[in-house]
Amino acid sequence: MPKRSRMSRALVRRETTAGYLFLLPSLFFFITFVLVPMFICIYTSFFDSNMGKDTQDVFIGFNNYKELLGDEIFLGALKNTLIIVVVSVPTVCIFSLWVASAIYDMKPALTSIYRVIFYLPVVTGSVAVTVVWKWMFNNYYGIFNYLSQGVGLTNQNINWLGDARYALWCIILILFTTSVGQPIVLYVSALGNVDQTLVEAAEVDGATNTQVFWKIKWPQIMPTTLYILVITTINSFQCFALIQLLTSGGPNHSTDTIMYYIYYTAFKLYRYGYGNAMGVVLMILIAILSAVQFRLGKSKS
Amino acid sequence: MRSQKSMAYRVIAMILVVILALLFLFPLYWIVTGSFKTGKEINSTTPVWWPSEWTLTNYETLMSKQTANLFDLSIPFSQYFTKDGEAIVFLSGPEVPAAIRWLLNTVWMAVAAMLLTCATAAMAGYALAKKRFVGRGLIFTLIVCAMALPKQVILIPLIREMSSLKLYNTISAVIYPIVGWPFGVFLIKQFAEGIPGEILESARIDGAGEFRTFTKIAFPMIKPGVGALAIFTFISAWNDYFMQLIMLTSTRNLTISLGIAKMQAENSTNFGLIMAGAAFAAVPIIIVFVIFQKYFTRGITMGAVKG
Amino acid sequence: MKKLLALLLVLCMIFALAACSTDPGTESEAPAGEDVAITLWTYPIGGWGNSETVKTLTDKFEAANPGIKVNVEYLDYTNGDDQVNTAIEGKKAPDLIMEGPERLVANWGAKGYMVDLADLWDDTDKNEVIPSVVSACFNAEGKCYEYPVCMTAHCMAINLDAFKKAGADQYLDLENLTWTTEGFINAVKALKEAGYENVAAVYCGGQGGDQGTRAIVNNLYSGTFTNAEHTAYTADSAENVKALELLKELDGVNFDASIVGGDEINLFRQGVLQMAFCWNIGAQTNVDNGNEVGKTNNGEEIVCMAFPSDDGKAELCGGIWGFGIFDNGDAAKIDAAKKFIKYMADGEGTADAVKASTYFAVRDTAEGNDLTKIYADDPVRTEYTKLMPLLGDYYQVVPGWAEARTAWWNMLQQIGSGTDVSTAVAEFVATANAAAGA
């Protein structure tokens, strides 16, 4: 950057002032409502802090963290969180790309209708959606048992949400239906904006559909894909309402995610310091993950 | 040969998409029809696909169960001066069914969060992308690291902080953490990188002030990104059940999803009532989405492709 | 256009300021003179969860006590505890709360958030209120964190039509509403053979309704949940382990982690289950599903029963509900709240307050108001009074009760997922006793 070296000191000052002025409103909210609580969270994680009017916080160093390493429920929650993210992010991306490519070149009205339909679970709201899903998964007369027995897949009722083998996958399925809406909308638009002249030229040269897709369309929708990866990862990490309303982490902690377990530790076990230590571990994990994702994205684009 | 194969694929794909669409449509269908069913049918153990008799009882119960003022306007910052830390109300709306107030609260929360986020993130993203200043790298690193952070992590400190700021149990306590969440800044920064430096340079040479340059030149160029952010923020605020759950307690401050979740009683859960509440919450936002979907999608697309 | 955008931005910033303020807390519209506004949070305790019913009660109180205004908020059992806890952290705890001693005395009281109500009791009161209720409301140091209003015995319920069809009614003593463990086992078997797939469900999820699962486990072989001094948990005794193993082995009884107490009640009313462990007079008289009193949704007859026991002496879990005051440091509000308690629990309003709860009074007279006749013309409740003498020890006041209850659910879930009963119970008792000791 040759221009930069020629910048006068006055200009640097002007840039700095302007930069911070533009940042000010955003930084105000970021610092007050994210950074400060984050630091308090780190600080409290070194204390034995419990609920109680007259209880004093006791400094205990890294004891909370040591306990975490031996806490099987925490490790299980960590595993569940990772399963949710690792399973749902790629499936959401692939599924939404597939649906989008199937509907984007239909008649505009038809495309709109499909787009709205796939977006419905997103806008219906998680509380409303879970009420319906809870009924569908019902152990005694839910539609899943009704259908699977009707088709002859099973001859016994499966307790979908009450069985540790299935409960997490039920949550992932519901999360999936509430997550694909936005990626589909994005992909439909991205595919519609692919440069048609390039596609036609390739077709004249005798490229197959698959080739056209990977060689021409895929690179052009790459930025959309990256954006989708980021928002889906964020959404999967934040999955809370589904768990709270459907299983409350059960049966036997098999659907606990770290987010839910923090809430549980704080408000069912009243152990604030311990909950905060979990938060810090998650913070570090997520920071690493974001940094890696960001680097990857940067090097690719 | 190839075209035949691709025809077959297309037909299969069509059928699959139709089936999937029906599955995605089902929850809403079930909520809406369920809200008109009688107690007997909604509690039936074999699925009742279509109400045999349409009843408005559930909606009547929803509208009569609790009441609240349509709105309460209070003197800004007055909560810092009253003895009990409550703001002084100077104007209250007429008493209406609480569900209406909850819907209004939810709309207000989502819209305010959206506008504030877009305004602050647009300026900050622009500055991070186009201004060279000390500390820029550090701020950006912090933003990237905090971006995917779930709010549950800072739950307890946040409650205590809101309480000492006298914001606990106000809609603002839900709005501000959403605004502070740095994903928006990151997103806009990625868009603003695409603004050619020469254009900004020439504006400066023409004597335009910093803010003028931003509003006249930079903002129109990052508008698609702001559109994408607006939609994302609106939807995630609307669905941010967690923050609502921990921050709001009074009937008059609830959001619609919290209101519905609280309707489940001890001795019996009135599913008809819950369905009616869910339909009441979902239908308005779906209508908004159907009407505005063109703008929704146009905003997002151009942005994401360019970014 | 661009001007418009700039304007919009400025507007946003103004909105930001406005956002701080447009949501008030209470309607403290110009508190003239010495007016006090107090907040009451109630759990859905019968009609106390219904705003219309509560409004008539508070209106009467406000008319009798000018200068005091009562704002009521309604909690549910799924989120209620968490909301009270967050509110305590947010320093916005209510002034008054209505629930039972397991929450008020053993949890929030023990943690130091409640006001001692010992001064509300005079000697007459102590004589009027049933002794076991009095002792539940006081802690070991003699501090009172709850003033009781109403009570019930939690029982179970059976679908009499289904029992008759399966020929299982022979195991019931319908005169005294009791039955034996052996009768229970035979009844489950008979129902199962008669084609009822799901006879009963041990619901393993949720926050409320734990009394039902505790009572069935304790009664089957006369185990106890805590020691007599209410200082430690004894749920790992051989009797309890035997009972849990029986429930697990019994074909037709499911350990179901996907349902909570409220779901079990629904399933029972729907005719899916033939017994409900989570039952009481409130459930018996509830008609929210379009059913009749004491009938399932299909019109089959529901009979309230004591829990089956091997010695024929059932001990029912009590439910006690009353008011507690959170110490928010405002003497005027505490005084007003005490007046409210006096009015509702020991005064003119008591008869109505008890009636609204749909449960029974904890005393025969309140300041000269006779409470024995409030359900005189109510056959369902008259029948139910047969169960009231079976009330057992009110042990839900062991320290660390909230944590123990959470662990109890988890223990049931473990057993349901196949963990060995004695292992799961041992883990529960260890966790619960750790919480009790803390």
Q: Which of A145-149, B201-205, C21-25 has the lowest mean pLDDT?
A: C21-25
Q: Which amino acid makes up residue B229?
A: L
Task: Specify the pLDDT at position A208.
Answer: 84
**C318 DSSP β-pair partners:** C153
B to C CB pairs, distance under 8 Å: 194
Task: Specify the pLDDT at position C258.
Answer: 87
Euclidean distance between CA atoms C145 and C232, whole angstroms: 21
* Burial letters C415-430, b for 16+ CB under 10 A, else e: bbbeeebeebbebbbe
Give yes or no for a contact between B251 and B39, defined as CB atoms under 8 angstroms apart.
Answer: no
In this predicted structure, the answer to whether residue B266 has a pLDDT above a threshold of 80 is no
Domain range annotation of chain C: 35-152+319-378, 154-316+394-437
Query: Residue range C289-310: average pLDDT?
Result: 89
Query: For the domain A71-300, what is the CATH code?
Result: 1.10.3720.10
In a 3-state reduction of DSSP, which class is residue A56?
A: coil
User: Of B174, B250, B249, whose CA–CA distance to C27 is shortest?
Assistant: B250
Chain B residues touching residue A195 (CB < 8 angstroms): none
Q: What angle do CA A99, A103, A105 make, to 5 degrees?
A: 140
Query: Residue range B139-164: average pLDDT?
Result: 84
pLDDT (tens digit, 9 = 90+) per residue, C188-198? 999 999 999 89
ipTM: 0.87
- Tokens for C107, please give them: 């949890």
* More reliable by pLDDT, C90 or C116: C116
Give yes or no for a contact between C206 and A247, defined as CB atoms under 8 angstroms apart.
Answer: no
- C297 and A CB contact within 8 Å: no
Q: Average model confidence (pLDDT) for chain B? A: 83
In this predicted structure, the answer to whether residue C117 has a pLDDT above a threshold of 80 is yes
User: Of B266, B271, A267, whose CA–CA distance to C209 is shortest?
Assistant: B266
Burial label for A193, CB within 10 Å (0-12, 13-18, 19+), is middle
Query: Residue range B256-260: average pLDDT?
Result: 86
Q: Which of C54-58, C236-240, C363-367 has the lowest mean pLDDT?
A: C363-367
Q: Which of A18-27, B39-48, B271-280 has the lowest mean pLDDT?
A: B39-48
CA-to-CA dists, residue C124 to B147, C119, C128, C129, C367, angstroms: 63, 13, 6, 9, 9
In this predicted structure, the answer to whether residue B61 has a pLDDT above a threshold of 50 is yes
Give yes or no for a contact between B186 and B261, defined as CB atoms under 8 angstroms apart.
Answer: no
Give yes or no for a contact between C12 and C5, defined as CB atoms under 8 angstroms apart.
Answer: no
Euclidean distance between CA atoms C356 and C53, whole angstroms: 7
Residue with tokens 């060689």: A215
Euclidean distance between CA atoms C248 and C370, whole angstroms: 47
- C409 and A CB contact within 8 Å: yes
Residue C343 C-beta-side C-alpha neighbours within 13 Å = 18
Task: Specify the pLDDT at position B301.
Answer: 53
CB-CB under 8 Å, B85 with C49: no
Pick the CATH number of C35-152+319-378 from 3.40.50.150, 3.40.190.10, 3.40.190.80, 3.10.290.10: 3.40.190.10
- C10 and A CB contact within 8 Å: no
Q: Average model confidence (pLDDT) for chain C? A: 86
Euclidean distance between CA atoms C350 and C370, whole angstroms: 10
Task: Specify the pLDDT at position C15.
Answer: 45
Neighbours of C4 (CB within 10 A): 8
In this predicted structure, the answer to whether residue B120 has a pLDDT above a threshold of 90 is yes
| C24, C52, C91 member nearest B86 (Cβ) | C24
Euclidean distance between CA atoms C92 and C113, whole angstroms: 12
DSSP C384-400: HTTTGGGB----TTSTT
Domain range annotation of chain A: 71-300
**C66 DSSP β-pair partners:** none
| C19, C87, C291 member nearest B172 (Cβ) | C19
pLDDT (tens digit, 9 = 90+) per residue, C39-93? 999 998 888 888 888 999 999 999 999 999 999 988 888 778 888 988 898 888 9
| A25, A161, A263 member nearest C258 (Cβ) | A161
Q: Do domains C35-152+319-378 and C154-316+394-437 have the same CATH topology?
A: yes
Distance from CA of B42 to the nearest CA of A (A): 11
pLDDT (tens digit, 9 = 90+) per residue, B5-19? 678 888 888 899 999
Task: Specify the pLDDT at position A250.
Answer: 78
Residue to test with chain B: of C23, C45, C82, C358, most B Cβ within 10 A: C23
Query: Residue range B136-161: average pLDDT?
Result: 84
- Cα of first residue to Cα of last residue in chain A, in angstroms, is 21
* More reliable by pLDDT, C376 or A43: A43
Strands B95-97, B67-69: parallel, antiparallel or unpaired by DSSP?
antiparallel
The pLDDT tens digits along chain A (301 residues) read: 444 555 677 778 888 888 899 999 999 999 999 999 999 999 999 998 888 877 788 888 899 999 999 999 999 999 999 999 999 999 999 999 999 988 888 888 888 889 889 988 888 878 888 888 988 888 888 888 888 877 777 777 788 888 888 999 999 999 999 899 889 988 888 888 888 888 888 888 888 888 888 888 888 888 888 888 888 888 888 888 889 888 888 788 899 998 899 988 988 888 889 999 998 998 888 888 777 877 776 665 5
Chain A residues touching residue B188 (CB < 8 angstroms): none
> Treating both helix axes as pointing N-terminal to C-terminal, what angle do B2-34 and A72-103 enclose, rounded to 10 degrees?
120
| B77, B249, B269 member nearest C20 (Cβ) | B77
Task: Specify the pLDDT at position C239.
Answer: 92
Euclidean distance between CA atoms C218 and A265, whole angstroms: 28
Task: Specify the pLDDT at position B307.
Answer: 38
Chain B residues touching residue C208 (CB < 8 angstroms): 266
Task: Specify the pLDDT at position A91.
Answer: 95
Distance from CA of C347 to the nearest CA of A (A): 32
In this predicted structure, the answer to whether residue B242 has a pLDDT above a threshold of 50 is yes
CB-CB under 8 Å, A137 with C417: no
Predicted TM-score of the model (pTM): 0.87
CB-CB under 8 Å, A251 with C258: yes
- C413 and A CB contact within 8 Å: yes
Angular region, C418: left φ>0, alpha ψ -120 to 50, beta rest? left
CB-CB under 8 Å, B268 with C266: yes
Euclidean distance between CA atoms C297 and C302, whole angstroms: 10
CB-CB under 8 Å, B181 with A186: no
Distance from CA of C122 to the nearest CA of B (A): 32
Nearest C-alpha in C relative to A29: C16
Query: Residue range C320-333: average pLDDT?
Result: 92
Superfamily name and number for C154-316+394-437: Periplasmic binding protein-like II (3.40.190.10)
